[in-house]
Amino acid sequence: MAFTTDNVQVFLAVLDKGSFSAAARALGRVPSAVSMAIGHLEAELDLLLFDRSGREPQPTAAAGSLEPQARLLAAQLRQLDAQALALTQGLESRLTLAIAPELLSARWSTPLATLAQDYPLLDVEVLAAPQADALRLLHEGRVQLALVFERPSLDGREGFEEVGSEVLVAVMAPSHPVLQATQGGSLLREQHLTTTRQIVVASRDLATTDPRFVFARHTWRTDNPVAALGLISAGLGWGWLPLSFVQPHVDSGALQVLAFENLTNRLQLWVDVVWSKERPLGLAARRFVELMAANRLSEQISCAKPQERLKYRIPVNGTAFVCRVFLPPGRQAQFDPFDRSAQWSTLRAPCTCNSHATPLCLPHPTRTPLLR
């Protein structure tokens, strides 16, 4: 076989550096070894790759023709080496995520982009499934991670990392008879929710429902928020949907956020990445969790206002932490949320800043980060 890992590297080095001596310095070899490697390659291919008639070797047309494939081969070999190294460190061959459909617009693709760079040969599968179904897939071992809303109660089989929050609002089409009857400006009450058909995004298992989201006596079910949006927009009922998802439709007038006389139309839920404690996580899954947590932290810090001393929840391995941050104008806080040596204070509290982070006013000092 003419091309090998070694002579491809030498061939590209000579092309890039322009001479045998410069390529030798880049590769940590002597010039004669580089010249000999190119000579052996030319002999095996029966092609002249470099014209040596001048002071420096000049690539021939044959070398130019082989260059694109040689570079592709070198990149693939680097990917193969990186994948092999990662496998020795516990990298799984496939990472499968189950995501609650209401969270498909959340920022989970950015961490996957980082994983694609770090582990280019990793296979990734993303499944959209209602929350109960996503957790069932997790416990069955079909997926390694589930991105879901906070659960009504903790399950001892599950580990989780809080990575954000989402606001659900009750919406209805302006043409719905309930809203048509209140055009005089009167506000709705809870009985309007219980007596009006509700469109519920729920599990495919009819016996499984989340009581936090079911208010009405009469419900229609779907496992997809896009289908729910279509049903609600058609005036067939009301439903809870993520504010970020329905906001464009509210702005266009296709939907209306319901206004109530005796309750707040805002259901804020934490968003968690969940895994099974019964199965060890692979390298990519652990890295994904870390990236999601770090992404949440960067969003929190970006919410800070200049010249304010603020506290932020920083989720680490399922525990909520708080740190005090002082930000002068034009400067950003910089610290490591995974530093276990720091003295952190535990707290769980709601978020409102950009729908993600709330400044928390705590009386006692915590860690002050470095400033840049």
Q: What is the largest CA-CA distance in the chain?
A: 93
Contacts within 8 Å (CB) and 24+ apart, 50-59: 50/14, 56/18, 56/19, 57/14, 57/19, 57/20, 59/14, 59/15
Average pLDDT over residues 66-73: 89
The span from the CA of 40 to the CA of 372, in Å, is 54
CA distance readout (Å), 114 to 117, 122, 336: 5, 12, 19
Does some domain include residue 296? no
Does some domain include residue 334? yes
Say yes or no: 330 and 362 in one domain: yes
Q: Please give the residue range of the domain that contains residue 127.
A: 94-165+270-286
The reported pLDDT for the residue numbered 338 is: 39
Residue 343 has pLDDT above 90, yes or no: no
Say yes or no: 104 and 158 in one domain: yes
End-to-end CA distance of the chain: 54
Count CB atoms within 10 A of the CB of residue 161: 21
Give Cβ neighbours of residue 165 (< 8 Å, ≥ 6 apart).
Answer: 268, 269, 270, 271, 350, 351, 355, 356
Count CB atoms within 10 A of the CB of residue 282: 20
Tell me the pLDDT tens digit for each residue of 157-212: 889 998 888 888 999 999 888 888 876 566 888 788 888 899 988 877 777 777 77
Amino acid at 183: Q
Where a domain ends, among 242, 268, 294? 268
Amino acid at 140: E
If we measure between CA atoms, which residue out of 338, 364, 363, 360 comes closest to residue 349? 360
The reported pLDDT for the residue numbered 323 is: 39
Contacts within 8 Å (CB) and 24+ apart, 110-113: 110/291, 110/295, 111/287, 111/288, 111/291, 111/292, 111/295, 112/288
The reported pLDDT for the residue numbered 114 is: 92
Where a domain ends, among 71, 88, 105? 88
Does some domain include residue 13? yes
The span from the CA of 262 to the CA of 264, in Å, is 7
Does some domain include residue 293? no
- If one counts the domains in the chain, the total is 4
Average pLDDT over residues 124-146: 92
Say yes or no: 193 and 258 in one domain: yes
Does some domain include residue 298? no
Say yes or no: 68 and 20 in one domain: yes
The model's pTM is 0.56
